[in-house]
Chain A
């Protein structure tokens, strides 16, 4: 198992493009910039995790104390208004937790190993109790380089979305497959559910981007952003295709060769 320091690979990619004489300088400059960005993110992440959550706790706490002590004086519409406050607090708490995690994903060390994507995918499908439902067409022995726990998370999020956005009778058509593409493998999760307007295919992985009614399809709006962050950290790409009421396919690419970690 090999630990890849934060963003080293992309620094080395940029340095490779610089003139030979400047490469060390470029690398040093980029490292310094990344260190500064990393520190800024940590400060922001701490604020999100700690300070904002403390404020939320205050809002929820005092609202509930008010309900406990004075609810008997309120009519039902009044009580409903206060209940809405606590519901929104709970929602915001989840958003902050997910956002904090998304921020941390940008800086945590990756633990790379060779993974059999067929084995990983079937294990995930089984853990979600969908073995009898979903089709895994990834070829056995499809090996990639990656952090297994994070790629597992990618699969869980994409598969869960496919199930969520498919009517029950269409779930058996959900497919997880792979298209071999040279040094990369392009994995996909395909469903035949509600789909989305492909005009939005460039924003579907953005933070808090919701293309469907949240009351009908509940969620925080960070799942695909998390998928994108993880795959980007692996040097891969994400993209999606879809058609309203006909389904969607979400793709991610991973490197298949050991050249991704700098070793031969």
Chain B
């Protein structure tokens, strides 16, 4: 099974499709997995982890919307940060919300970054491509490093 490099969690399929388009603008070989609900995303992250310890090893980024019904983005983030295997996963909030309280809540609960979805297509694609480039090309994922050699020091 091909493991995901990036997970997109967004209850709007149209937004998700445009996000995935933008991600693949940077790198067509990126493996992007999309979940419409918090339940499905958490099931993948946690249940898969118990069956296959390497399911997170290729995962470099979670793009998380906030306004998701039932289990919202902040709750998903909290559960990710509570998991022993998932607590260091890079999570970027990708949302339409400009509310200051949402920004504060996201960072309080451990988001690595907060990005407001531009409405215009060109700006949206640029923003998402930049995220993909930074988190998959430039950034060293702490999970990946841990999996490779738990006792190694980061250089």
Contact = CB atoms under 8 A, between A and B. Distances in A.
B96 A61 contact: no
B98 to A, nearest CB: 6
A61 B97 contact: no
Contacts of A185: none
Given A49-B96, A50-B96, A50-B97, A57 B15 contact: yes
Given A49-B98, A61-B124, A56 B14 contact: no
A263 B120 CA distance: 48
A103 to B, nearest CB: 13
Interface string B1-33: 000000000001011011001000000000000
Interface string A213-231: 0000000000000000000
B47 to A, nearest CB: 30
Contacts of A61: 14, 17-18, 21, 121, 124
A61 B67 CA distance: 20
Interface string B44-84: 00000000000000000000000100000000000000000
A260 interface: no
B67 A57 contact: no
A53 B98 CA distance: 12
A175 interface: no
13 contacts: A54-B12, A54-B14, A54-B96, A54-B117, A56-B119, A57-B15, A58-B15, A58-B18, A61-B121, A62-B14, A64-B122, A86-B120, A89-B119
